[in-house]
Every structure is written in C-alpha cells, then in structure tokens.
Structure 1
C-alpha cells in the first residue's frame, strides 16, 4: 500500500514537473516572439527612408517689362496644348491629354497587371509668385480601382514622356509647370499672371530673352 502511494506521489511530481517545463518553454517562446516583434518595429521606426532626388532647375528670373500681355480663355489654351502635345508625342507609343475645363484634367491609359486602365486626374491650378503654374491634385477617376493619388502619379510619371520643364511631386500630389524653363521657338519666355477657370479668364505675359533685353 505504501509502495503504491509512493509510486503515485512520484508520478504526480513528474507530471507537475512536466507541466511546469511546458509552461516555461511556452513562456520563453512567447517572450522571444514579443522581443522579436519589438526589435522589428524599433528597426522600422528608426530606419531612414530612401530620399528620391529630383533634378530641379534653378529659377530663371524674367527681367524688365513684358513685351506682350495676353488675355486668353480655356478653348484657346486647349488648342495650343493639343498642338504642342501632338508634336511632342509624335514618336511615343503611349499618349496622354491635358485640357482645361472648370479644373485642369490629365487623362490617358496605362497598364495594371497587363490590363489597360484609363485614368482621369483632376487638378486645381495656382499661379506661383515667380509666374509658374502649380497643379494640385484634387480627385482621381480610375474605374473601379481604389488607388491613392500619389501612387497613380508615380505610375503616370514612369509610363509617359513629359517635357523637362514639367516636374512631378507624387508625395505632395502636385505637378509644377516650370514656365521659367520653357522657351518658345523664338526664345520668348512665358509668365503666368492669372488663371481663373470658372470665369474663363487666363492671363499670361511674354518676355524677351535676357540677351535680347540688353
């Protein structure tokens, strides 16, 4: 009888030790997972993001008085842009279109997972202090896809050919029309003075090249 009690006690103690060991192992594994996750999130939080450097051209100051001030409207500007883009994209396999309505609209097609997608990206235009034009993205229409504007702007920038005087900033969701870097064939500069799309009032000034002003 005593021998049976001793064996039972021994068996109970072994079971208790096994249970304790299992809890220890489980606790160590859980602690390891927690420490691993903490280290991972600390690394991600302190890791520096890659900074993308854009080639930004210096501002070209337009000196003197404008040689010509022009009052225009959306229809006239759209005709000029269509003519310019047709020539500029003549050797390109993909095309985009830009036109002014009550907002500025950029539209075109690019592929997502091998399927062609048509996008409509709407901007609000603003004249900057130096006579350039900033387009601030307002809304995006891209079928049934739910994509952030900044991501779509990155796709657009990579998919299409744009003049060097057009600068994309997907992070800020803006496009800057660097008119100070744009030259007409005769060398004239263009400076934006006013853009009011609702009232169809667009005003620009033309400046002579600096070497011709002297």
Structure 2
C-alpha cells in the first residue's frame, strides 16, 4: 500500500443507517393505517342517519274540562310504564327499560363495532306549560367509554323504536313526552301537573275534550 493511499472506510455504518430508515418507514406506515382505520370506524359510528324521520309536530293546544285529577307515586307509575313497554316492544329484538327513581332512568344496550354496550342515562323531568313532560339529560354511565351524551342519544334514536308521541332531541339532550299527541279512543286526554321524584309526588289530570273538538 502506498504511503498516501487512504484506507477504505468500512461499510457497516451505511447498512445500519439504511436498516434504521426502513424501520422508521414501516412504523410510519403502520401508524397511518391504524389512525386511518380508527377515523373511518369512528365516523361510521357517529354518522347521523336522520333521513326519513318525522319533523317535530306543532304543539296542540287542547281545550277541555278536567274531570279527574290523579295523585300517584313512582312505584305506581313504574308499574304502568312496565306494562306499556312490555306490550309495545313485543317481537322487537332490541329493547330498553325506563323507570322513575330520584331521577328518570333510561337503560338499554346497543352495538358498537359489533360489541354490545350497556348504557344508563339519567334525566331530570320537567312539566311544560302545555302539560307535556320534558326529560333533560343529567348524567350518563356507559362503562369505560367516554362518549358525549348527545352522541349516545343519537345512537339511542337510531337503535330503538319509540312511540310516535316520544321525541328525542339529541342536540338539546332532551326527550319530550308529547302528551298533547296522546289521545284515548273516547277522546279523553291527559296533562301532567306536577312531577317531584324526590318527594315521590306525581299528579296528572284527565280532560274531557271541548265540544268543538268532537264536531
């Protein structure tokens, strides 16, 4: 070897650097696939499919004379709710429960990515000026998932069948029991007067329709 000739550099470091770059590329690709898949499924889960649902009907200002005022309690009303829902949900694969405690409680199960998720949604009930009952969402329990109440209400609205006189407003986090849309076959209708779940006081009035409504 000549005195001024440089000794060839080893090629080991170049190969090592290339190997490291390959691992970086593979990691970035894998992370991108995972992130993209997560975004895709999340968008499908929370996608709004409200097409075809009826818009809220106008409030019906019913006129009539109160013929009977009923004072009840949570236990008695829960028996009526159980009886009604058992009949209404016959033959349905997906069902839900509703009961009055110190809050109103809606519970059921829906599917998220093929897995059953049980929810417990608590409401505070209010009587409106028209004698309807408004349920304002108060708190939500849904296992370890951290989902906004409005999104869970959207899932509930898509997953369950409710009577026509029950309206679910996910954006306002409210369920409205439209007693002004509920009428008995003989024309009698009901208005809520008072709901105090803590003191166990529930009062409803039964009305005879005005003569003009019968014509």
Name the TM-score, length of structure 2 as normaliser: 0.72
1:60, distance to aligned residue in structure 2 (A): 2.0
1:212, distance to aligned residue in structure 2 (A): 8.2
CA distance in 2, matches of 1:61, 1:184: 16
CA distance in 2, matches of 1:171, 1:155: 12
Specify the structure having the higher radius of gyration (Cα).
1
CA RMSD of aligned residues (A): 2.1
- Gapped runs of 5+ residues in structure 2? 1-49
Residue 187 of structure 1 is matched in structure 2 by: 187
1:51, distance to aligned residue in structure 2 (A): 11
List aligned pairs for 1:36-185, cutoff 5 A: 55-185=55-185
Contact 2:65 2:210 in 1 (8 A): no
Tell me the alpha carbon deviations over residues 5-59 of structure 1, each in whole angstroms, 9 at most, x when there is no partner.
xxxxxxxxxxxxxxxxxxxxxxxxxxxxxxxxxxxxxxxxxxxxx9998512222
CA distance in 1, matches of 2:211, 2:166: 24
- Gapped runs of 5+ residues in structure 1? 1-49
Give aligned pairs, total: 165
CA distance in 2, matches of 1:100, 1:129: 21
Tell me the alpha carbon deviations over residues 106-146 of structure 1, each in whole angstroms, 9 at most, x when there is no partner.
00011111011110000000000110010000000001100
The structure carrying a bigger helix percent of its residues is 1
CA distance in 2, matches of 1:139, 1:95: 21
1:62, distance to aligned residue in structure 2 (A): 2.5
Contact 2:165 2:182 in 1 (8 A): yes
1:63, distance to aligned residue in structure 2 (A): 1.4
Tell me the alpha carbon deviations over residues 159-212 of structure 1, each in whole angstroms, 9 at most, x when there is no partner.
000011111111110011100001234432110000000000000001123458
Q: What SS is found at the alignment partner of 1:116? A: strand
